[in-house]
Structure 1
Amino acid sequence: MRRWWLLLIALLLAPVAWGLPAAAPAGSPVAAHGRLAVKGNRVVDAQGKPYAVHGMSLFWSQWQPRYYDPATIAWLVRDWRVTAVRAAIGGQQGGYDTQPEAETKRAEAVIDAAIAHGIYVVVDWHAHQPRPDDAVRFFSHIATKYRGVPNLIYETYNEPLPEHGWATVLKPYHAKVIGAIRAIDPGAFVVAGTRSWSQDVDEAAADPLPFANVAYTLHFYAATHKGELRSKAETAMQRGIALFVTEYGTTAANGDAPIDATETRTWWEWCAKHGISYLNWSVANKDEASAILKPATQGLSGWSEAELTESGRLVRTHLRALR
């Protein structure tokens, strides 16, 4: 009889021992929708139905690390009602290039908090220069630790610059980094950055990557980018690729004033029409208009309306209305 009890206990503990992902909390976005994928020019859930996430991006991890904290993620879930967060892990400029262990721990803190709350987490290699070896090292670690976890979305390159050609620089870069991730986790959902600060999505559509389950990054800042960028994005979708707005702002492209609430709402409506996910830049108390917190705000959570910037109030109201 004792042998049977030991066998039963071993079977119950097997998922933990084998590193299998734990079930998402009941009623959470991940519990309802599972791992994301790409079907045609749409992002879909585990049932193959179109699904979009909405939420917040953290600021560069090396410059505003304090918000890479479980308390911040918990507050965004409870009060802002986000279905996704983005860990913007600085790859260069004093980030992973000089302190890889610290940046990896920040990423893991956000990932673990997202898993605990059953929301999605965009793990973003936040860089402007193509240095694939560091990205491969970082993502290989993350993919190994979180293999098969449905919450994860891998963003392999935040904002390539205009001089980084799609065919000559970015396709080889993505092939190396995505190849490393997929060698560990074949089902990983990936979002690939595009040329010119992730705006030249039409180029990617004309010459897509040789991988399934890949969406392409589109970034916009409402006071700068308007109908012309939407037209470019529509051309890309007509050519068959899926888009994912891993970062957008209510402001000008430099992250500062003015705030264009009208154009921001136009973008929200456009994204809803096309089933496109979007995350706002950024959870920060930096003295710039795109930050959601005023510079004097010190808490990691529990922010009052008086502690939010104009952009913060606009985005919070919108996110709360979605759920």
Structure 2
Amino acid sequence: MMISALSLLLYYLMINFSHGLNPPYGQLKVVGTQLTDSMGNAVQLRGMHIFTANWMPEFWNAETVNAIKCYWNSNVIRAALGVTEAGDQHLSVALLFFANISKIYGSHPNILYEIWNEPAQTNWTYIKEISVQVIDVIRENDPNNVIIAGTPYYDSKLELLTTPINRSHLMYASHFYAESAGQDRINVSIETIHRGFPIFVTEYGTVDKWGNGSVDYASSNRWWQFMDAYNVSYVNFCIGDKTETADALIHGTNASDVSNYYKWTESGRLVNTKYQSTNQGVSCTGEHYTPTPASTSPCPYPWVQSTVNPKKCYRFINEGQFQVFASYNCNQLWVNSTLVSLGSAFENSELSSLASKYTQPCFNNYHIGLIDLNANGVWTWRDGNPSSFRNWDSAQLSRTARRVSNVIAPQLTKIEPVYCLQNHKLLRIQIVDITKFQHAMESYVVHNAVNFEPVDFDIVDWSTNEVLLKAQLFAEELVILEGQRRLMSVILADQESPFIAKIRHPVTGIKIFEIADSDDSDRWHIVGCVEETNKCQISTRSSIWRRLLMSCGFIYLPQWWTFRQNSKFLGQVYPNNNMCSENSMAVEFSENSDTEMRLLIVCFGLVQMIRKGYPQIFHIIQEYQQRRAHS
């Protein structure tokens, strides 16, 4: 996970140590691709990362270490230090630090050095050259303890490891976040091991790569299965109380809460359950938390086993959703998971009891399993027993199920956060394939204006060309995507309309925002349609210099647009086009803009790129829509 300032440090300093006065494995070493004990037996470490001391020093104490050992059944702790909070390259300081730390602690057999956290570079030769300098400084004082080297592109591109570093007892760091790392990343990890590189997962999370989003149970379990099968050690991120879902503790906790089950997040409880199911070689005296072993229950945390039907596991989500949306989300929670469908009055009673315990009071309506066999309005449970309840809602989903609908939740009228935009300042919007774009226009003409092939756009980081978002332009709408997730759909208005675009929720279709023209021809507003709020004002800028360039064919548009809320600058959009590059649009954010505003600025950039940068395709869309309206 990229951590704002610290991700820019050349040396993001960490020491990993399996704690205890008498470490159970003795002197750790590396044999082949395996971490081993002093006798050469394969060893697997599992543990927790304590959040960086620069920002959360309150967790850096013996109480936290003891709780991680005894309440989290962990045999390794990753302790992260940064040279400065601001982040910079500090090779000379790093050399001094590792020389000093290895001189003081090098005689302890249970220390591991991780010398470079998440190098942003992709050049493995460069990373090796820097790493060797630090390794050699450590080896002057400590010839035996394990050293973990950083790997290309934030410890995520193991495939770029071409040649090993020629030093002893060395491993290579790997980082993953389950929701963002699929089976392909696991396959690369396995291939890397087979190529002779011993890997150590010094940081992983159960959520997405930004440290947020939902806990991905299925992907987390796939990664655990792989790592356990190959004896790969791993450390979870993290013991901390930020508001991110990756954190193991809820916000507002402290060191005394690390041992308190009720202060753990959903991710923390999942990781703890996993660790408690393993033999870590940890010995503790006194009281410590021991949950029911996972093997005694078929239901993974936080699913709850049914007593009426032990083959069923329930999970409660405190969120109002449409049935179709809820069904899709439910399918993502676990393999073969579906919305609850109750087959008997006994299951109904059990669900009511469980729901009162696990849900908020306002969410008291559920998908149930009645059936109307004779289509005469007489509903029974699927087991054939009659239902005594008759006051059903008139709405009916099907002959096999009824549901009393909840009121639309507020989140279904708002844009979901897009965290990937928050760590980038300058983006570029570009057409993926200009030849495909040209073919789309030709195809439209060939097929007598009745067929429109979608056009694909990429929204990329300006400096790295990393694809952050995608967009697809259809005749009916413009869809913005994060991976496979629809973020919003945009309806392009015609030239005569006072609105140049209408932004709709991707699931409900509710209109959330409109980009509206004002009385001043050089100004627009982004207007909130649900809360009746004015998000921002957009001003058009131009210059004589740009107009001259335009007349010479260097640039297709002499204007750029500035976004402000009251007097606060939020960002700007401007064209990037000359004779040496394709038409594209630059999007620049200020630090004042939140994730929703950034997505709206990107949306505006896409709309103006289509309307102004590619007027021919905009005219085609207008004509297509008019033909459909008349037909």
Pairs within 5 Å for 1:134-213? 134-161=93-120, 163-167=121-125, 169-204=126-161, 206-213=162-169
- Name the counterpart of 2:245: 289
User: When you count strand as a share of all residues, which structure comes out higher?
Assistant: 2
Mapped partners of 1:227, 1:92: distance in 2: 36
TM-score when normalising by structure 2:
0.40
Whether 1:274 and 2:225 are equivalent positions in the alignment is no
Q: Do the aligned residues in 2 keep the contact of 1:192 with 1:217 (CA within 8 Å)?
A: yes
Does 2:66 match 1:74?
yes
Q: Shift of the alpha carbon at 1:57? A: 0.5
User: Could you say which residue in structure 2 is the equivalent of 1:35?
Assistant: 27
Tell me how far 1:202 sits from its aligned partner: 2.7
In structure 2, stretches of 5+ residues that fail to align are: 1-18, 280-631
Counterpart of 1:40, as a letter, is: G
- Distance in 2 (alpha carbons) for counterparts of 1:160 and 1:91: 15
Distance apart, 1:164 and its partner CA: 4.5
Whether contact under 8 Å (1:42, 1:241) holds in the other structure is no
1:70-101 Cα distance to aligned partner (Å, 9 max, x none): 1100111111111000001123324xxxxxxx
The C-alpha deviation readout for 1:249-289, integer Å capped at 9, x for no partner, is 00100011121011111111100011100010000000000
CA contact (8 A) 1:66 1:300 kept: no
Give the superposition deviation at 1:67: 0.7
Q: 1:67 to 1:299 in 2, by over 3 A?
A: closer
Match of 1:236 among 188, 192, 205: 192
Alpha-carbon distance, 1:293 to partner: 0.7
Alpha-carbon separation, structure 1, partners of 2:253 and 2:117:
27
Deviation at 1:132, TM superposition (A): 2.1
Q: Could you say what secondary structure the match of 2:277 adopts?
A: helix
Q: Separation in 2 of the partners of 1:155 and 1:142?
A: 12
Deviates more, 1:287-296 or 1:300-309: 300-309
TM-score, scaled relative to structure 1: 0.77
Structure 2 SS opposite 1:33: coil
**Deviation string, structure 1 residues 30-83 (Cα, Å, up to 9, x no partner):** 2x3112111111111111111110000011220111111111001111111110
2-structure distance, mates of 1:151, 1:61: 21
8 Å contact from structure 2 (residues 246, 267) kept in 1: yes
Who is 2:353 aligned against? none
Higher relative contact order (CA 8 A, sep 6+): 1
Which runs of 5 or more residues in structure 1 are unaligned? 1-22, 95-126
Distance, in Å, in 2 between the alignment partners of 1:213 and 1:297 is 38
Alignment pair present for 1:256 and 2:212: yes
In 2, Cα distance between equivalents of 1:36 and 1:200: 26
Counterpart code for 1:291: D
Tell me if structure 2 keeps the 8 A contact 1:71–1:301.
no
SS of the equivalent of 2:79 reads strand
The letter for the 2-side match of 1:256 is: N
Contact 1:130 1:160 in 2 (8 A): no
The whole-number CA distance in structure 1 between the counterparts of 2:264 and 2:244 is: 12
Cα separation, partners in 2 of 1:238 and 1:135, compared to 1, 3 Å: same
Q: Pick the aligned partner of 2:83 from 91, 100, 103.
A: 91
Which residue is equivalent to 1:5? Answer: none
In structure 2, do the counterparts of structure 1 residues 299 and 57 end up closer, same or farther at CA, with 3 Å as the change threshold? closer
Give the secondary structure class of the aligned counterpart of 1:171: helix
Give the Cα separation in 1 of the matches to 2:122 and 2:81: 20
Matched AA of 1:282: C
Identity %: 28
**1:239 corresponds to which letter in structure 2?**
R
Shift of 1:305: 2.1
Q: SS of 1:281's equivalent?
A: strand
The change in CA–CA distance for 1:210 and 1:257 in structure 2 (over 3 A counts) is same
1:50 partner letter: A
User: Is the contact made by 2:200 and 2:234 (CA closer than 8 Å) also made in structure 1?
Assistant: yes
2-structure distance, mates of 1:133, 1:275: 35
Cα offsets for 1:109-167 (capped at 9, x unmatched): xxxxxxxxxxxxxxxxxx7x653222111111110101221110000011011x34110
CA contact (8 A) 2:102 2:141 kept: yes
In structure 2, do the counterparts of structure 1 residues 24 and 291 end up closer, same or farther at CA, with 3 Å as the change threshold? Answer: closer
Rg comparison, structure with higher value: 2
Would you say 1:313 and 2:269 are equivalent positions? Answer: yes
In 1, the alpha carbon distance for the partners of 2:184 and 2:44 equals: 23
**Contact 1:130–1:173 at 8 Å: present in 2 too?**
no
Structure-2 separation of matches of 1:262 and 1:159: 25
Give the CA deviation at 1:301: 4.2
Q: Tell me whether 228-237 or 267-276 shows the greater mean CA deviation.
A: 228-237
**C-alpha offsets along residues 174-209 of structure 1, whole Å, 9 cap, x if unaligned?**
0000010001111121011101110222322x2110
Partners of 1:303 and 1:74 in 2: how far apart? 9
Which residue number corresponds to residue 122 of structure 1?
A: none
Aligned equivalents of 1:52, 1:65: Cα separation in 2: 28
Q: For 1:155, give the aligned amino acid.
A: E
